[in-house]
Structure 1
Amino acid sequence: MATLSQLYTMQEASLHNTKDDCWIVIDNKVYDVTSYLDEHPGGDDVVLAATAKDAADEFEDAGHSEEARELLESFCIGELDTSSPPIPELEISSKKQSSDYARKLTDLTKQYWAVPAVVVAISVVVGILYSRKK
């Protein structure tokens, strides 16, 4: 177990977000609460939902007792490195990608519209020719 002087990035802390490996960050301190998940009175889901962010507000809103705060300190493994950037936001698409996507979608729509129209046209022609033979 690391000493309190150990620094962790939020990105590193966010990787520990499962029932088998759970870290939470509260007030820029990093806690490994994996061994406590089964004992947490609010259930492990509440704690797991608090991973990958500073969960100080959630911790305070829950109205934890002084005893709970002391217990939390026993799980402290280090501090958050506030000099590192927070977890980078996922870039869904850029404007260029968006316009490329729209153009490709339009092209596909035109192609898939043409196929049923051709099938209908051929069916009509075959129907007319078949009815003339009778």
Structure 2
Amino acid sequence: MPTLTRLYSMQEAAQHNTGEDCWVVIDGKVYNVTSYLDEHPGGDDILLAATGKDATDDFEDAGHSKSARELMQEYCIGELDPSAMAFPQLEIYSTEQSTDPLKKIMGVTTQYWVVPVAIAGISLVAGVLYLRTK
């Protein structure tokens, strides 16, 4: 009799991303590796960094042994639901662009605080250098 496999979405698997509750996704399968974190030869930080994404490439790049692949089966809790594959959200930007150069500059300076701070810093340095030459 075939065993029923629980299906998980990537969003659901990605929510388990702490040392107290850690799931990873490799080759379309979901693994609860929470109890294995302390035993992982590469350290728990490697597994924690693999949460929230498909870690298949990371797993394959590490060159895991046959015994490591067999050990993984103990931690398998289900598979990714192929019908719930996430699509990246599109960001929509306005195509309206101002032709007024002052508005463009003001938009940049309000959006990025670095520009006004840099202008003030350059002015200060120029003032100090000017006063030293007198």
Smaller-chain TM-score range?
Answer: 0.5 to 0.7
Which residue of 86, 92, 95 corresponds with 2:93?
Answer: 95
C-alpha spacing 1:73/1:15, structure 2 compared with 1 (3 Å): same
Structure 1 residue ranges without an equivalent (≥5): 114-134
Aligned-pair Cα RMSD in Å: 3.0
Which amino acid in structure 2 is aligned with residue 68 of structure 1?
A: A
Higher relative contact order (CA 8 A, sep 6+): 1
Identity of aligned residues (%): 62
Give the TM-score of the pair, scaled to structure 1.
0.65
Give the TM-score of the pair, scaled to structure 2.
0.65
Larger Rg: 1
Q: Secondary structure at the match of 1:31?
A: strand
Which amino acid in structure 2 is aligned with residue 5 of structure 1?
A: T
C-alpha distance in 1, partners of 2:93/2:43?
42
Task: Show the counterpart of 1:79.
Answer: 79
Which amino acid in structure 2 is aligned with residue 25 of structure 1?
A: V
Contact 1:23/1:32 (<8 A) preserved: yes
Tell me which stretches of 4 or more aligned residues in structure 1 moved more than 2 Å.
87-91
Query: What is the total number of aligned residue pairs between the two structures?
Result: 105
Structure 2 residue ranges without an equivalent (≥5): 98-102, 111-115, 117-134
Matched, 1:59 2:56: no
